[in-house]
Amino acid sequence: GTRLAPKEKLDIPLLFMPDTMKMYEAVVVIHVMRENGENWPYEDSAELNKESVTVAENGGIQGIRWVYPVHGIPEAPQQKLVPAVVHCQARQRVEKRVEVLLTGVVPGATAMPTARKFSMVNTNKPANIQEEVQVTDGFSTTVEFLYELQYQSNEIKSQLESLIGVHLVRRERDTESGIITLIFSVIFAPYKPMRNEATLVVQCATGGVWKFPMLFIATRAEVDDVMNIEAVGLNKESIVGFKLTSQTR
């Protein structure tokens, strides 16, 4: 019953209040008819898409319909989490273990659906690398996850993408609380001093998203060498030669 003038815009508000960490699907259907009740003339009604229009008995178009699919993806609230800091000296390599806790993943879990937590410790143990996480518990349904590092801009991404590696090393699920623990190995090998932020994003196959802030800090590298230049006399030049090798073109 909403009346719309020619070239007038219509705003349709949508409200999304998820109670579990899973994706919800719906469709917004808009049906338009002429105010005077007349039909739009159309010669060959057999060629019309019956899903987009309502054809009258006389062959004219009685109404036009638009269907917009809507996906509601819940995201854990942006709590004031202390970012996991990965600290390394330039031209060195460090490996850290980042542990994240996800709740509300398994339907029917008793834990709060939006609670989350993560911590970080050092590790040097080798681990299997996986890009897709699968967590199972007995006869329950497999829960799948995808993860990635997101950066503040494409420029920062181009600088850090080759310097940082994130790999899953272990996953666990508490059968009583339903909390899933994912343990990642984060490798940082900077070549120059820098300080950049990133976000570890974990997405469940059912639609839930968790985000964890991270901070990468690279300090100055050690001095390569010390050159001593001895004077051969007053007002005379002394020369010392050395070679520089570039790591790139």
What digits encode the pLDDT tens for the residues 27-83? 999 999 988 888 888 766 566 677 788 777 777 788 888 899 999 998 887 667 788
Query: Residue 200 and residue 120: Cα distance in Å, rounded?
Result: 13
- C-alpha span between 63 and 141 (Å, rounded): 44
Alpha carbons 135 and 207: distance in angstroms, whole number:
15
Exposed/middle/buried for 42, CB within 10 Å: 0-12, 13-18, 19+?
middle
Residue 244 pLDDT > 90, yes or no?
no
What CA–CA distance (Å, rounded) separates 58 from 42?
10
Identify the burial level of 179 via C-beta atoms within 10 angstroms of its C-beta, where 0-12 means exposed, 13-18 middle and 19 or more buried: buried
Q: Supply 11's token pair.
A: 């705003």
The pTM of this model reads 0.64
84-120 burial by CB neighbour count: b if 16+ within 10 A, else e?
bebebeeeeebbbbbbbbbbbbbeebebebbebebeb
Residues 6+ away with beta carbon under 8 Å from 74: 18, 20, 21, 22, 23, 24, 114, 207, 208, 209
Mean pLDDT is lowest, of 37-46, 67-76, 159-168, 219-228, for 37-46
Cβ neighbours of 185 (radius 10 Å): 21
Share of the chain above pLDDT 70, in %: 80
Nearest to 144 by CA among 103, 112, 200, 105: 105
Q: Report the SS3 class of residue 118.
A: strand
Tokens of 162: 């080759």
Q: Which residues have a Cβ under 8 Å from the Cβ of 69 and sit 6 or more positions away?
A: 25, 26, 27
> What average pLDDT score do residues 94-112 get?
69
- Rg over alpha carbons for the chain, rounded to the nearest Å, is 30
Query: Average model confidence (pLDDT) for the chain?
Result: 80
Model confidence at 14: pLDDT above 70: yes
Q: Among residues 205, 209, 207, which one has the least CA distance to residue 71? A: 207
Q: If DSSP codes are grouped into helix, strand and coil, which group holds residue 160? A: helix
